[in-house]
A and B are shown apart, each in its own frame.
Chain A
Amino acid sequence: MILVLHAENRRKYADVLLQHYRIRHDVYVGERKWMKPAGPDGLQRDQFDNDDALYILAMEGNKVVGGSRLIPTLKPHLLSEVFPYLANVRGLPRAHDIYEWTRVHVAKECGEGRTGGPIAGNIYCGILEFCLSQGITSLTALMEMWWLPRFHEMGWEVRPLGLPEFIEGEWLIAVQLPVQRETLISTKEFFCLPDSPLAMLGSLPRREGITLS
């Protein structure tokens, strides 16, 4: 089941959000060693975990098994604040219907490994269904180059915004990922998920100027 957290309901689900930060700590600090531990509380948060952020979480009962974060590109986000030069060729897309996608991961104990399994599939499809229902037409992202073939395999269109750069031991690239119904169909097929819509919880935030499809 997919749970969407946003400004209006995140306080009600404060404990769920804490689980999400804890998993992020395990994955990004503990396992991938991207960041130094932020503090003794074992949670991974940054300056973009504010009321503008949206969280797409994969739940089993009350337990968070994986998740992802979306940030409106009209607000400060990773690409605009930290890595704007990575989009210097095509320019950084910023619009009301474009969100930055950061942090997709599955809890370690779910044992999906790097290849990804049904939980990862549910998160990708949850993000796509959410975007389609909210009129979000594309996602920007900073990703490792080795992710590109995986998105191609899933049938996503990947639009580079600049050349790859070697940053802290990894080749990274800024991309734009158009969101279409076809993307959701091919992703569901890739993960052998049924055609029916995912169960989604968390009343979606009110969005002005967007026609719900």
Chain B
Amino acid sequence: MSTTSSNAYARRAFDLIDAFETCAAPATVLDKLAIALKSFGYSSFLVTGVPEPPQRLEPFILLNGWSQDWTSHYVRENYYLDDPVAAHCRSTVGPFEWSDAPLPSKRAAEVIRVAQDFGLKRGFLVPVARTQSVHACVTMAGERPDFEPSAKKAIHLLSLFAHARIMSLLSGNKETRHIVLSPREREAMTWAAAGKSSGEMAVIMGITERTVNFLVARAQRKLNAANRTQAVVNAIRAGEINI
């Protein structure tokens, strides 16, 4: 791989990253991302949060570029529970080809096989590790995508910026603002709902009391609550925690 070609891939990524900055709506990000990924040989893609099962995937989807048929099938069969690519994403930081995800069960293999039937022959996934919300990813597939190392690096880079732009646009709009507690905030609020004090939570969670108070204060703000008790109520109402 010559420097010129890897630089060319880099330039494609940089140009797209700059283009994202001008997008005023998530739909525009989707359009630009779709065109760019097509040029890399990906026919479709998905940008989504990656919740812990048994939570369902659908509420966390940000941009759905999959076909309607595949989406319907996936949801109807509840493939998310056994999706080996999703499972691998939850346990890894770096991007990977779908074929690198272990297949721990027959059902997992079925998910991959049926995806291929729907034209998603070879796939690539970029995890996005957030602190303020559940982990997320940008995942994509096609018949014969460009798996040149520099191509993958370019996609790794532009995926993170695509996701960031979408989140920034969504959080700026009060109506679509997702009240999504980070995993640690959710953990703290669950303990608060169970009546634990900050001191007890610190011991349970293995952090200092000051950090506990910090997490609770941030959750309180996101939940628009005046105090911890109200935050617990709002969290339960919003479905952020279950008791």
Contacts and interface: CB of A to CB of B under 8 A. Distances in A.
Please determine whether chains A and B interact with each other in the same assembly: yes
A146 interface: yes
Contacts of B221: 192
A94 B150 CA distance: 26
A165 B153 contact: yes
B163 interface: yes
A118 B208 CA distance: 11
Interface of B: 3, 6-7, 9-11, 13-14, 17, 93-95, 128-132, 150, 153-154, 156-157, 160-161, 163-164, 167-168, 182, 184, 202, 206-208, 210-211, 214-215, 217-218, 221
Contact of A163 (B157, B184, B211, B215): B157
A192 B207 contact: no
A117 B157 contact: no
11 contacts: A88-B3, A89-B7, A111-B202, A117-B210, A149-B128, A149-B129, A152-B164, A163-B6, A164-B153, A164-B157, A192-B214
Contacts of B161: 148, 152
Contact of A149 (B3, B9, B130): B130
B131 A160 contact: no
Contacts of A150: 129-131
Contacts of B156: 145, 164, 171
Interface residues of A, number: 27
B217 to A, nearest CB: 6
A149 B150 contact: no
Interface string A118-160: 1000000000000000000000000001101110110000001
A112 B207 contact: yes
A42 interface: no
Interface string A80-106: 000000001110000000000000000
Interface in A148-186: 148-150, 152-153, 160, 162-166, 171, 173
B11 A89 contact: yes
A171 B94 contact: yes
Nearest to A165: B153
Contacts of B184: 113, 115
Nearest to A116: B131
A212 interface: no
A95 to B, nearest CB: 21
A88 B161 CA distance: 20
A160 B15 CA distance: 11
